[in-house]
């Protein structure tokens, strides 16, 4: 389809003869003609025809020539002529007073400019003139994933606009009027609809577009169709529009040209609050036996159906968007039991992708794949052994400190008879002295305790002797 085209110079010539229906085969050996049009279009809008003349494989001519293109429209018997090298186009507006809606043909023939009696190629194409405007609805929503073009997510802004294919030369865009309907109820008179649905539902979205031309008669089609749909509704989840200020008289839906475009929409809830757990294991257990089946229980909230697939990468590796897995089967549930097998002994990331019709969730779990038949498991045993060893060292240290505190404390006198000397020393030296004295006291206490133990041992082995008494001297 040709869009945004401009008309080329063309002249109507009543003396141009009607083109022949057939040509001699010898005249078609050198050129081939392709003819296209921008239809269907509504009457009173511009339709563009484009002809392209190309050389065939049998052509021996190398120089570029100019050709006369003769155009004949069977809609109104209008004849036009253009001169171009190999491509020529014309834009024609068919007046509603002269032409009725329907299907017509356009024929074009090409002649060398230096030999207008020799026709080198011709072509005929069909085109359609309609009563109503032609176009489409454009629906957009920012989604990470969309399974179907007519299924959208709730709680996300849905943007809708009309895309007109018809081109009205000489008219301003302000001449168009827009009316948006939800199941026949008017929800907005704006050109672009921004709509937010908060709950899962389905409805028919309809757009009426009308073109006002004061100099032209009005269309009965627009009057009848829009009168039936001219209703106002209270829409709770459309706070951006205060529809209460509109009434049937405010929305002028009486047009010269109009079109109706509609689409049945389905709104679903996106996935959220997804959780993945390994069946039969605690969440802290990150070991998976090599080649053994591992079952994951995956649950989500949202709208069904849903599907799950996996990407396996080395640890701390991302998955390129081009390599993200695609689900094969969607199930009418939000709970999945999926089994995978891993065959590389190392730390691995398990990327879980969960889909529904309007969203995709990405979860990552890290596991160590070990060989259950191997005698040693360095990646798991070493951290566990060193962790236990560290805990034992801490416990022994705590027990030793508590044992020291339970022993009798022997206080050592401080025979420092010169306090004035220490008072004048810097604060740093004073702190250092305290630390040194503390260490000395600790060693002195340990030595004193050792001496007591030694003394007790000596007393037990020394022979008994009678103690001297002051009365003995008497």
At 296-337, the pLDDT tens digits run 999 999 999 999 999 999 999 899 988 999 998 999 999 999
Q: Quick one: residue 44, left, alpha or beta (phi over 0 = left, psi -120 to 50 = alpha)?
A: left
Strand partners, 87: 52
Indicate the pLDDT class of residue 443, thresholds 50, 70 and 90: low
Q: Where are the domains of the chain?
A: 11-130, 135-268, 272-370
Q: How many CB atoms lie within 10 A of CB 265?
A: 20
pLDDT of 334-371, one tens digit each? 999 999 999 889 999 999 999 999 999 999 999 999 98
DSSP string, 125-180: EEEEEESS--EEEEEE---S--SSTTEEETTSEEEEEEEE--B-TT--GGGEEEEE
Residue 124 clears pLDDT 90, i.e. is over it: yes
Tell me the percentage of the chain whose pLDDT exceeds 70.
Answer: 65
State how far the alpha carbon of 473 is from the alpha carbons of 28, 452, 465, 466, in Å: 162, 33, 17, 14
What CATH number labels 11-130?
Answer: 2.60.40.1930
Quick check: helix, strand or coil at residue 94? coil
**pLDDT on residue 114:** 85
pTM of the model: 0.62
User: Of the segments 9-18, 268-277, 450-459, which one has the largest average pLDDT value?
Assistant: 268-277
**pLDDT on residue 395:** 86
pLDDT of 231-259, one tens digit each? 333 333 333 333 333 333 344 444 578 89
First to last CA, the chain: 145
**pLDDT on residue 246:** 36
What CATH number labels 272-370?
Answer: 2.60.40.1930
């Amino acid at each position: 389809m040709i869009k945004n085209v401009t008309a080329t110079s063309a002249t109507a010539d009543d003396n141009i003869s009607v083109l022949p229906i057939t040509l001699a085969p010898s005249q078609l050996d050198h050129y081939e003609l392709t003819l296209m049009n921008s239809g269907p279009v509504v009457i009173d809008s511009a339709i563009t025809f484009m002809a392209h003349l190309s050389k065939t494989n049998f052509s021996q001519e190398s120089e570029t020539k100019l050709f006369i293109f003769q155009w004949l429209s069977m809609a109104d018997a209008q004849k036009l002529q253009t001169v171009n090298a190999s491509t020529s186009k014309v834009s024609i507006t068919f007046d509603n007073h002269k032409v009725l809606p329907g299907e017509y043909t356009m024929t074009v023939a090409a002649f060398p400019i230096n030999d207008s009696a020799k026709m080198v190629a011709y072509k005929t194409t069909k085109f359609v003139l309609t009563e109503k405007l032609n176009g489409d609805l454009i629906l957009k929503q920012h989604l990470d994933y969309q399974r179907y073009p007519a299924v959208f997510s709730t709680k996300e802004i849905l943007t809708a606009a009309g895309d007109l294919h018809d081109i009205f030369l000489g008219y301003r865009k302000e001449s168009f009027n827009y009316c948006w309907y939800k199941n026949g109820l008017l929800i907005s008179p704006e050109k672009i609809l921004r709509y937010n649905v908060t709950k899962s539902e389905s409805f028919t979205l309809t757009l009426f577009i009308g073109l006002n031309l004061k100099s032209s008669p009005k269309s009965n089609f627009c009057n009848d169709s829009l009168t039936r749909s001219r209703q106002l509704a209270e829409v709770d989840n459309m706070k951006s529009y205060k529809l209460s200020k509109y009434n049937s008289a405010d929305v002028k839906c009486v047009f010269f040209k109009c079109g109706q475009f509609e689409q049945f929409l389905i709104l679903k809830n996106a996935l959220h609050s997804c959780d993945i757990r390994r069946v039969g294991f605690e969440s802290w257990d990150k070991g998976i036996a090599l080649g053994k089946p591992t079952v994951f229980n995956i649950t989500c909230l949202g709208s069904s159906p849903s599907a799950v697939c996996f990407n396996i990468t080395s640890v701390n590796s991302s998955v390129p968007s081009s390599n993200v897995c695609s689900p094969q089967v969607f199930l009418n549930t939000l709970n999945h039991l999926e089994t995978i097998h891993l065959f590389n002994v190392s730390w691995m990331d398990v990327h879980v992708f969960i889909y529904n019709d309007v969203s995709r969730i990405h979860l990552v779990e890290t596991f160590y794949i070990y060989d259950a038949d191997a005698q040693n498991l360095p990646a798991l045993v070493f951290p566990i052994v060193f962790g236990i060893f560290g805990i034992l060292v801490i416990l022994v240290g705590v027990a030793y400190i508590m044992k020291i505190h339970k022993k009798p404390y022997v206080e050592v006198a401080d025979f420092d008879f010169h306090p004035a000397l220490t008072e004048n020393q810097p604060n740093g030296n004073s702190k250092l002295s305290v630390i040194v004295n503390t260490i000395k006291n600790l060693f002195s206490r340990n030595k004193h305790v050792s001496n007591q133990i030694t003394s007790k041992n000596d007393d037990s082995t020394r022979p008994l002797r009678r103690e001297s008494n002051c009365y003995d001297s008497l």
